[in-house]
A and B are shown apart, each in its own frame.
Chain A
Amino acid sequence: MSEYMRKVLEGKRDTRRRLAALPFSQKLILLEKLRDRSLLIAASSLRRQQHRRQPA
């Protein structure tokens, strides 16, 4: 693994650790934002078109 990739992965681990250490109430606010975005993505016309293109 390259030094660059090692740093990238380390940074991701740090971010996950930082998020995991947040108080539960704050994490639930982030969870709500993630849910809202998931619903937006699911409802987007681009995604619906993609689904139509895929064979059953």
Chain B
Amino acid sequence: MKATLQVVNRMQADGVIAKYAIGGAVGATFYLEPSATLDIDIFVAFGSASGSLLLSMQPIYDYLTARKYPVEGEYIIIEGWQVQFLPPGDALGEEALAQAVETQVDSVPTWVMTAEHLVALALQLGRAKDFSRVLQFIEAGVLNTVKLDQILSRHELLAKWEQFGDRFLRKR
């Protein structure tokens, strides 16, 4: 994983991507116990010489394939890990990317989404494994509930949160 992150950091230094943040199961591992995953979700802001936003993922693919990293479906295999680069998609994704926290993996700097943003994104996605992850976050007691409430409110996810609570948290 360290080698993978070094490559991603080099992409950033070379201007292929701007800010990035690890999300998904690997991001959640920053806060929780590790759980099996096969890929790394990396949310990226695209950089360009003019500073404008590029909507295409092509520069990422071009950069990595030129360095012999193979593409497999929606993934690029970087130093043994399946990596999926994802654009933020909406305001929640952009905020999660902007507010990501810096950390280090064996002296390699990297950025991870906050626990509250990971929960909000999981709630938004709404698959069974996302709900399971939200429950893990709640059980681990790592969430700032005020901050989470603000995020859910800002991104109109309070109704989904209520539904989640009714389904998984309230005793019948």
Q: Chain A interface (Cβ within 8 Å of chain B)?
A: 15-17, 19-20, 24-25, 27-32, 34-35, 37-39
Contacts and interface: CB of A to CB of B under 8 A. Distances in A.
Contact of B38 (A15, A27, A39): A39
B32 interface: yes
Contact of A24 (B35, B37, B105, B140): B105
A35 B38 contact: yes
A38 B35 CA distance: 11
B76 to A, nearest CB: 16
Interface residues on B, range: 20 to 34
Contact of B37 (A15, A29, A35): A35
Contacts of B153: none
B34 A19 contact: yes
Interface stretch (B23-31, B123-131, B162-170): B23-31
Contacts of B33: 15-17, 19-20, 27
Contact of B30 (A15, A16, A24, A35): A24
Nearest to A16: B33
